Amino acid sequence: MKRTIQARLSAMMFLEFFVWGAWYTTVAVTMTAHGMEGLTHWPFTVNPVAALVAPFFVGLVA
């Protein structure tokens, strides 16, 4: 693989997971600020479940 392509793909992967990490750590604070204190556990609960279930639905569409 060419060095430029490898560098660009590495940067893309870093930015992808950086954005996910930045969003994931601040979602509870943002929800609390908007008056949803009792619902802050849902993003952390639903995200792994969706990651397990989504391939079955994507497989049906593909």
Q: What CA dihedral angle connects 54, 56, 14 and 27, to 10 degrees?
A: 10
pLDDT of 61 reads 80
User: Taking the domains of the chain in order of start, what are their residue ranges?
Assistant: 3-61
The predicted model scores a pTM of 0.56
12-58 pLDDT tens trace? 999 999 988 888 888 889 999 999 999 999 988 998 898 899 999 88
Q: What local confidence, expressed as pLDDT, does residue 5 receive?
A: 95
Is 90 exceeded by the pLDDT of residue 10? yes
CA distances from 44 to 6, 10, 14, 39, 55 (A): 32, 27, 22, 10, 19
What's the pLDDT tens digit per position in 30-41?
A: 999 999 999 999
Measure Cα distances from 46 to 3, 22, 23, 29, 30 in Å: 38, 18, 15, 17, 17
